[in-house]
């Protein structure tokens, strides 16, 4: 985000004094990382990054923070660049460190308690934001292949507590394959137009092994918890394998090992022992939301348990595919996890 720290400080102070609700120090600070972009708007203008999480009167951040009871910080980065680029992973790492120091984001929001004062930080990442976090958290140690590649990944990994991804493109997207593979006519083109074109970010979100984040990272240093949608986007979903949110298929949302194009559903998606890395990825649940709903809280719908998921029924893990909620957005779901 192209803001000076001085300006951030002034904006932050004003916002804190005038408008900020009282954040509870015991709550984690939620740090939001958006997904792929077709322009640099969220990087150049913080308001665009903030609006990524809003649709009409629905505000994912407001809901996830329980009406701002928990503090938050919104990151904007260059979502047109590959997940490993300085404009993406580098910028995200810098901003996470800034957040953990208690400094404000471009809109003046800051974490209630800094890391030095004992704060806890949960990163909430959507879509490509998940891929960016995989790269950062998988290259935080000097033994990793791309240690601190273009930012303070080690500090990020030390300071954040965990990450939650919603519709994360951990194994890429078959939508990106369609966009970059000269897909034929029909609804796959609709899907390609949703992604728009095979730009650099899209090309690095293909399913091929030579661009996968796991090829260039180790297991994440902090746990990554996985949730995602199974509401189809009519037509586009036909091009994706198994359940999907219209852009990303389950094999990727749930960071599965093996072929990313295996057809999974809520009953059989990979559990915690068959992930893209040896450790660090854990299932939460699935929602009847599409790729947009997952980040704008506009569709309060059913939620279902997935294998090794977070929901318990009568004290034991609910069976996979059990409907656990009849009307709950992913934002509400996150708000009940802390």
Partner 1 sequence: MNNKILKTLTALISTGLMAPAFAADPQTADLAERAARDYREQARYPAWSQAVALGAPDPVQAERTPSRQTLPGPNGASPALSVWSSDLRAESGDTITLYAEMVEKKPKDTLAIMLSSGADENDAWTLTGELVGHNSGTLAEIDYRDDGKSPDEVAGDGVYTGSYTLPGEHRPEMGKAENIAVRVTAENPQAEPRHAVGGFLYSHPAAALTGRFRDSEVDGNLVLQAEVAVFKAARFHLQGTLAAPSGQSIATAKTSETLEPDTHWIDLPFYGLAFHERGLPGVYQLNTVTLSTTGSIPNALGPLMHNAHNTRAYGLSQFSSQPFGRKNLLEAAQRLEKQSQR
Binding to partner 1 (CB under 8 A): which residues in 70-129?
82, 84, 118-120
Among 50, 214, 291, 295, binds partner 1 (CB under 8 A): 214
- Pair 141, 154: CB distance under 8 Å: yes
Among 110, 207, 252, 329, binds partner 1 (CB under 8 A): 207
State in angstroms the smallest separation of the CB of 4 from partner 1. 30
* Between 8 and 222, CB nearer to partner 1: 222
Among 20, 62, 146, 268, binds partner 1 (CB under 8 A): 146
- Of 25, 66, 80, the closest CA to residue 334 belongs to 66
Interaction between residue 318 and partner 1 (CB under 8 A)? yes
Among 311, 329, 331, 332, binds partner 1 (CB under 8 A): 311
How many Å apart are CA 37 and CA 298, to the nearest integer?
A: 20
Number of residues that bind partner 1 (CB under 8 A): 95
Interaction between residue 196 and partner 1 (CB under 8 A)? no
State in angstroms the smallest separation of the CB of 310 from partner 1. 5
* Between 94 and 301, CB nearer to partner 1: 301
Cβ neighbours of residue 205 under 8 Å, at least 6 residues apart?
36, 83, 128, 131, 169, 172, 173, 176, 211
Interaction between residue 288 and partner 1 (CB under 8 A)? yes
Q: Tell me how many degrees the CA angle 34-174-1 measures, rounded to the nearest 5.
A: 20
With CB under 8 A as the contact rule, which of the stretches 6-14, 29-37, 51-59, 229-237 interacts with partner 1?
A: 229-237
- Pair 102, 13: CB distance under 8 Å: no
Q: Angle at which helices 128-137 and 91-100 pack, to 10 degrees? A: 80
* Between 28 and 108, CB nearer to partner 1: 28
How many Å apart are CA 150 and CA 169, to the nearest integer?
A: 21
Cα-flanking dihedrals φ and ψ of residue 46, to 5°? -60, -35
Interaction between residue 293 and partner 1 (CB under 8 A)? no
Interaction between residue 158 and partner 1 (CB under 8 A)? yes
State in angstroms the smallest separation of the CB of 46 from partner 1. 28
- Of 71, 68, 63, 67, the closest CA to residue 25 belongs to 71
């Amino acid at each position: 985000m192209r803001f000076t720290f001085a300006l951030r400080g002034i904006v932050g102070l004003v916002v804190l004094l005038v408008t900020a609700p009282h954040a509870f120090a015991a709550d984690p600070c939620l740090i939001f990382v958006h997904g792929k972009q077709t322009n640099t708007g969220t990087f150049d203008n913080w308001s665009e990054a903030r609006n990524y999480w809003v649709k009409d009167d629905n505000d994912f951040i407001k809901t996830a923070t329980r009406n701002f009871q928990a503090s938050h910080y919104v990151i904007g980065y260059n979502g047109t660049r590959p997940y490993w680029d300085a404009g993406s992973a580098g910028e995200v790492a810098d901003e996470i460190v800034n957040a953990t120091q208690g400094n404000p984001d471009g809109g003046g929001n800051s974490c209630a308690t800094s890391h030095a004062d004992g704060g806890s930080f949960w990163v909430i990442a959507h879509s490509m934001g998940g891929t960016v976090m995989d790269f950062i958290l998988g290259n935080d140690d000097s033994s990793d292949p791309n240690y601190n590649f273009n930012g303070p990944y080690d500090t990020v990994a030390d300071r954040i507590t965990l990450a939650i991804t919603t519709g994360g493109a951990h194994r890429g997207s078959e939508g990106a394959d369609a966009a970059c593979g000269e897909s034929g006519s029909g609804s796959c083109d609709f899907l390609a137009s949703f992604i728009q074109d095979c730009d650099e970010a899209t090309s690095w979100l293909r399913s091929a092994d030579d661009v996968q984040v796991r090829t260039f990272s180790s297991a994440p240093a902090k746990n990554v918890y996985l949730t995602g949608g199974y509401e189809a986007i009519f037509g586009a979903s036909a091009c994706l394998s198994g359940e999907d949110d219209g852009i990303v298929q389950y094999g990727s949302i749930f960071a599965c090992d093996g072929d990313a194009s295996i057809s999974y559903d809520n009953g059989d998606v990979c559990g915690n022992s068959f992930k893209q890395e040896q450790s660090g990825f854990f299932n939460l649940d699935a929602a009847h939301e599409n790729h947009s709903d997952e980040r704008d809280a506009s569709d309060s719908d059913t939620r279902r348990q997935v294998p090794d998921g977070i929901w318990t029924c009568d004290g034991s893990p609910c069976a996979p595919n059990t409907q656990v909620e009849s009307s709950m957005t992913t934002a509400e779901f996150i708000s009940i996890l802390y």
